[in-house]
Structure 1
Amino acid sequence: MAIEPITENELYHYTPEQLTSLLYDSCLARLGQAAIALEHGEYLEVNRQLQTCHDILHRLGGGLNYEAGLIADQLEALYQYMAERLVYANVHKDRSAVLEVHKLLATIQDAWTAACRKRKDAQPVSARMRAKAYDTEYDFAAGNVNLRE
């Protein structure tokens, strides 16, 4: 799975929920790349991918909202565990540890996606319409209106 670059300008239009999803996507893709590189003995690539995943996990941990209660503490512990497993996988070239982290993170991502979808669906129609009003871009010079989805 290729990781498509995102411009800085595009990032400013993302919600915190979307940014978290992007981090999950990127980390999962890189874990997959690391697992393939391990199969082929490409250890420099493995190291590069796993270090990036380690950094992503720390960013995810740093973005936790501890006012959310116990779930934030549990996610922090999971992120820390996964980061430790990636260090182990990198040092010992252990593909099973990479796959374990991939499976855990995919489960967390699935739950995150479902929670975001449920939250969006739970918004009243009037709130969704007000939020969508800000998704309209006007190019007055060209006379174009672009509705972003």
Structure 2
Amino acid sequence: MSIQAYQTNTVETASPGELTLMLYNGCLKFIKLAGKAMETKNYEKKNVNIQKAQKIIQELMITLDPDASISKEILPLYEFINRRLLDANVNNDLVILTEAQELVTELRDTWKEVIRQTRQQQFGEGSIV
């Protein structure tokens, strides 16, 4: 099986929670690539990667369940991260980019813990998932 086929299969068989985790991880990857590009003054690469990170944040915003109470708390955070990514891009500011990265990392880590706890509840405390 090729890497491409494996990745496609992984996405197609992932649960909604796992897909969200993949989005967070992808966003972090693009932010890191943008930071490296910023450090080497490769502004085109920085711009492309920040825009990819922003597209992921925008996708997360669109897919929020408007009826879920947590969405009302998360949406402003996504909007803030999106704005900070824009500011980092326009100003070539690594400090702002790092701030956005830390926020996404915190969301990702929280989401990872939610998935872990959900699996424990579904499969029992002693099972290995």
Question: TM exceeds 0.5?
Answer: yes
Report whether the alignment pairs 1:78 with 2:77.
yes
Question: Cα deviation per residue 1:92-149 (whole Å; 9 max; x = unaligned)?
Answer: 1111111000000101111100011001101155xx9xxxxxxxxxxxxxxxxxxxx8
* Structure of higher CA gyration radius: 1
Q: Distance in 1 between matches of 2:74 and 2:68?
A: 11
Please report how far the alpha carbon of residue 12 of structure 1 lies from its aligned counterpart in structure 2 after TM superposition. 1.7
Unpaired runs of at least 5, structure 2: none
Please report how far the alpha carbon of residue 67 of structure 1 lies from its aligned counterpart in structure 2 after TM superposition. 2.8
**Counterpart in the other structure of 2:113:** 114
Report whether the alignment pairs 1:97 with 2:96.
yes
- Counterpart amino acid of 2:25? D
Q: Percent same amino acid at aligned positions? A: 27
Q: Distance in 2 between matches of 1:10 and 1:108?
A: 22
Q: What secondary structure sits across from 2:64 in the alignment?
A: coil
Q: Distance in 1 between matches of 2:87 and 2:50?
A: 10
Distance 1:67 1:124, change over 3 A: farther
Report whether the alignment pairs 1:22 with 2:8.
no
Q: Distance in 1 between matches of 2:123 and 2:101?
A: 35
Q: Distance in 2 between matches of 1:65 and 1:35?
A: 31
Please report how far the alpha carbon of residue 58 of structure 1 lies from its aligned counterpart in structure 2 after TM superposition. 0.4
**Counterpart in the other structure of 1:133:** none
Corresponding pairs, count: 123
Higher strand share: 1
**Counterpart in the other structure of 1:135:** none
The correspondence of residues 1-149 of structure 1 with structure 2, limited to 5 A, is: 7-69=7-69, 71-124=70-123
TM-score by length of 2: 0.87
Please report how far the alpha carbon of residue 40 of structure 1 lies from its aligned counterpart in structure 2 after TM superposition. 0.7
- Counterpart amino acid of 2:97? V
Question: Cα deviation per residue 1:15-47 (whole Å; 9 max; x = unaligned)?
Answer: 111110100001101111111111110100000
Please report how far the alpha carbon of residue 10 of structure 1 lies from its aligned counterpart in structure 2 after TM superposition. 3.4
Please report how far the alpha carbon of residue 62 of structure 1 lies from its aligned counterpart in structure 2 after TM superposition. 1.1
